[in-house]
């Protein structure tokens, strides 16, 4: 884990826009060091792995780069714009929980950001509508990603993809689903070569293996940043 010390900015932070600072202040909170560090790494264009225990604010840390970027760029008038952020969960129930937990700060900060889930339980009409009018942030599973990336409209759907967030990465890559995800991620990079990955994980024995997984397997390519 990084040993760099990051100041917990509230007033005058160069990383968080004022609405985010106001939200933290209204809650009586300070952004945690690893949340700011991950945001800084993402804004520098680097893929990142965050290792932290339960209750340490991993989820908010993982989504902060996307929320800040979406808030900064504003709403597009292009109705055909694809998704901005893709969140991959090992469990469909977790994706639903994350949607509920993330919806509150989005509303309280006053962000014009759409967030939806897509799992095996999502009705067919909603899946079709998501293809036509994609949300800014889509929360899904490895199996649903495989279906989406194989669709004939995948190029348009993922054309604007900026971030892919992998929750509980340690459990995803150590199973057969890890191979499925690797293929899906390779396909995403064909559509959007500049996509950045963010891995969220509990403590693991070999974090470097997860860091390598987050980046294309190219000779001489550095591993993802570790927070």
Phi/psi region, residue 154 (left: phi>0; alpha: psi -120 to 50; beta: rest), is: alpha
- Enter the pTM of the model: 0.89
The domain ranges of the chain are 33-226
Report whether 36 contacts 6 (CB < 8 A): yes
d(CA 221, CA 149): 25
The candidate with the shortest Cα–Cα distance to 49, out of 165, 157, 198, 176, is 198
Instruction: Work out the average pLDDT over 10-16.
Output: 65
The candidate with the shortest Cα–Cα distance to 85, out of 164, 142, 23, 141, is 164
Look up the CATH superfamily of 33-226. Answer: P-loop containing nucleotide triphosphate hydrolases (3.40.50.300)
Residues 139-164 pLDDT 10s: 999 999 999 999 999 999 999 999 99
Strand partners, 163: 85, 196
Residues 167-197 pLDDT 10s: 999 988 888 888 889 999 999 999 999 999 9
Residue 200: enclosing H or E segment and its boundaries?
Answer: strand 196-201
d(CA 2, CA 157): 35
5 — pLDDT class (breaks 50, 70, 90): very low
């Amino acid at each position: 884990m990084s040993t760099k010390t990051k100041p917990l900015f509230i007033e005058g932070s160069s990383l968080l826009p004022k609405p985010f600072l106001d939200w933290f202040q209204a809650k009586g909170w300070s952004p945690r060091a690893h949340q700011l560090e991950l945001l800084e790494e993402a804004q520098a264009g680097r893929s990142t792995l965050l290792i932290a225990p339960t209750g340490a604010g991993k989820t908010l840390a993982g989504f902060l780069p996307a929320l800040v970027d979406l808030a900064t760029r504003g709403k597009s008038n292009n109705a055909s714009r694809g998704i901005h952020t893709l969140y991959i969960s090992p469990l469909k129930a977790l994706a639903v929980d994350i949607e509920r937990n993330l919806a509150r700060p989005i509303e309280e900060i006053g962000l014009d950001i759409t967030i939806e889930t897509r799992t095996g339980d999502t009705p067919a009409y909603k899946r079709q509508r998501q293809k036509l009018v994609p949300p800014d942030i889509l929360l899904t599973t490895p199996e649903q990603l495989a279906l989406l990336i194989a669709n004939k409209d995948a190029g348009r759907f993922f054309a604007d993809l900026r971030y892919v967030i992998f929750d509980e990465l340690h459990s995803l890559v150590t199973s057969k689903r890890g191979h499925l995800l690797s293929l899906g991620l390779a396909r995403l990079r064909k559509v959007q070569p500049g996509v950045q990955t963010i891995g969220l994980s509990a403590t693991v024995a070999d974090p470097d293996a997860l860091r390598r997984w987050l980046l294309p397997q190219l000779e001489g390519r550095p591993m993802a940043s570790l927070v």
